[in-house]
Amino acid sequence: KAGVTQTPRYLIKTRGQQVTLSCSPISGHRSVSWYQQTPGQGLQFLFEYFSETQRNKGNFPGRFSGRQFSNSRSEMNVSTLELGDSALYLCASSLDPGRNTEAFFGQGTRLTVV
């Protein structure tokens, strides 16, 4: 069974640009969650999607958005990039975290903003 796939693995963008990251969950999983990891703040929750609906959103500005498609693949978008957005972005998929099912993480996308 294929794991969680995140693309691209590495990305370099310039301040002010926008970026879209993709996450393909494990087949059959309906939930995708996104996280940001920085050396200063550690891991922080961005959003959680279940069956195409955003179930919750972390404390991030509106520049961070996401969506989930009918095949459960998810994308997150960051507009007007800032240097502080440089981070490892991780997604995790699960059957339904609301029912305490196990989460499986992707390898992450390392975004560098210059």
Partner 1 sequence: KNEVEQSPQNLTAQEGEFITINCSYSVGISALHWLQQHPGGGIVSLFMLSSGKKKHGRLIATINIQEKHSSLHITASHPRDSAVYICAVRHNNDMRFGAGTRLTVKP
**Rounded-to-integer distance, Cα 31 and Cα 50, Å:** 4
CB of 12 to partner 1, least distance (A): 16
Measured in Å, how far apart are the chain's first and last C-alpha atoms?
37
C-alpha distances out from residue 61 to 57, 66, 108, Å:
10, 12, 21
Smallest gap, in angstroms, from Cβ of residue 30 to partner 1?
14
Q: Which of 70, 83, 102, 114 binds partner 1 (CB under 8 A)?
A: 102
Residue 108 within binding range of partner 1, rule CB under 8 A: yes
Q: How far is CA 88 from CA 13, 39, 83, in A?
A: 14, 9, 13
C-alpha count within 13 angstroms, C-beta hemisphere, residue 70: 0
The 3-state DSSP class for residue 84 equals helix
Q: Which of residues 48-87 bind partner 1 (CB under 8 A)?
A: 48, 55-56, 58
Under rule CB under 8 A, residue 12 binds partner 1: no
Q: At closest approach, how far in Å is the CB of 31 from partner 1?
A: 10
Least Å distance, CB 100 to partner 1, is: 4
From the list 26, 35, 64, 95, which residue makes contact with partner 1 (rule: CB under 8 A)?
35
Residues in the site for partner 1, rule: CB under 8 A? 33, 35, 37, 42-45, 48, 55-56, 58, 88, 90, 92, 97-98, 100-108, 110
